[in-house]
Structure 1
Amino acid sequence: MSIGNHRRLGHWEGDSVEGAKGSGGIATDVERKSRVLVAAKLSDKSADAFYLVTTTALRSYLRNGVKP
């Protein structure tokens, strides 16, 4: 499947944006078909912080019944 050919929902792409030194950053997750964006502030740039905020943000998004 090519990058531009998204036929079903559920394929998420995660990334992070670094802030200024010592300020953490932003974790972003985009559902590739609907282009829904879920973003959360990172307290630091560690993999553990990214995992924690990403799973928390996605669970909150899904729990609230929002459909892309």
Structure 2
Amino acid sequence: MSPVETMRSVPARAPNGCNTPVMTQLTKAEREKIEAIAQLEVRSLSATARMLILRGIQQYEDDTHNAD
């Protein structure tokens, strides 16, 4: 068996087109909360942050739509 045959491919963790990073500052407590969620969800820290951002955007849009 060649080394190429024994290598596992790593699945993409984000959809195609996710190539624009966002940098933000967190308090130690906020980061610890995200790290705990990431561990619970078995996700990377960045995948967890992306999930939370997308949920937050959806909640914002829902709240804004309901206010109209």
Q: TM-score if structure 1 supplies the norm length? A: 0.38
Which structure shows the higher helix fraction? 2
Greater C-alpha radius of gyration: 2
Which structure shows the higher strand fraction? 1
